[in-house]
A = this chain, B = another copy of it.
């Protein structure tokens, strides 16, 4: 009966077992004060009708639901990685996870989306939420953890050490002997983009290399945005010998453009990215990049939220995870 009638409710069970719904509730929740024979009757009635408690009704009555939420506005590949991390962190914890996705604004993103849906879930359906969004100013009556949040986030958060990662990336190029290093930035206004640019500047400054702002292009993390920027940088007579892009997606586009222009990578141009997405490992040549494990971000966020909900979180409100330089074929020493 895939298209059966009304769902089985607790009162259906109570009627069949000849008891009140209160007793059924006590049996379902394993509470004290029900005789063994009554428990047996009720259980048999539950079995017979195929009864399952309604998440909605329970949520409404109880303050705790043992369900955590995850709210995100889009479903990029990295979101899936975060998700896996969260699920592993919640594994065997007794918490289930609900991911709420809105259809109306998919693609045409508008700020405030998460806020609305957070309010619709928290306090009722979920005991707490993980928010994967670059925007901030979130509030909720239940605990919140933001993954990769905006700069001014007051909400507990988990993010990668973008500053150190970017610094390491550029230091790698400097160590190889590069001095003219271009940079393709991410969308301004995002914490990650800012820190990565700061890391670029810091590494150069620390090495005593003056910063040439004409070597900096403003992308927006969208791979396509890197194409015209790379084309411009690489068409210059005094083109850079290396380019650091604030994301792997943009970095891979840089490689593409370089090849189009007849430049070899890494022979004529070294390229470093940031993120370590799957394509980077499989690309030819492999892309040297900074690994920020989205899986780990999700895992930490899950761990943190779980503890926050249980009221036993003792760690810092903001977690910063280390990054790792992954050297592949896209970088080498510059030609003399």
Contacts from A to B (Cβ < 8 Å): 1-8, 50-57, 59-60, 75, 77, 80, 83-84, 87-88, 90-104, 106-107, 116, 119-125, 138-141, 143-144, 154-155, 278-279, 282-284
Contacts and interface: CB of A to CB of B under 8 A. Distances in A.
A93 B83 CA distance: 25
A125 B56 contact: yes
Contacts of A95: 103
Contacts of A139: 1-2, 4, 50
A97 B71 CA distance: 11
Given A3-B143, A4-B141, A139-B4, A52 B119 contact: yes
A182 B123 CA distance: 57
18 contacts: A2-B155, A7-B141, A52-B119, A54-B120, A55-B124, A56-B56, A56-B125, A77-B80, A91-B104, A91-B107, A94-B103, A94-B104, A96-B102, A97-B100, A97-B103, A98-B100, A98-B101, A99-B100
B91 A83 contact: no
Given A54-B124, A121-B55, A87 B75 contact: yes
A7 B123 contact: yes
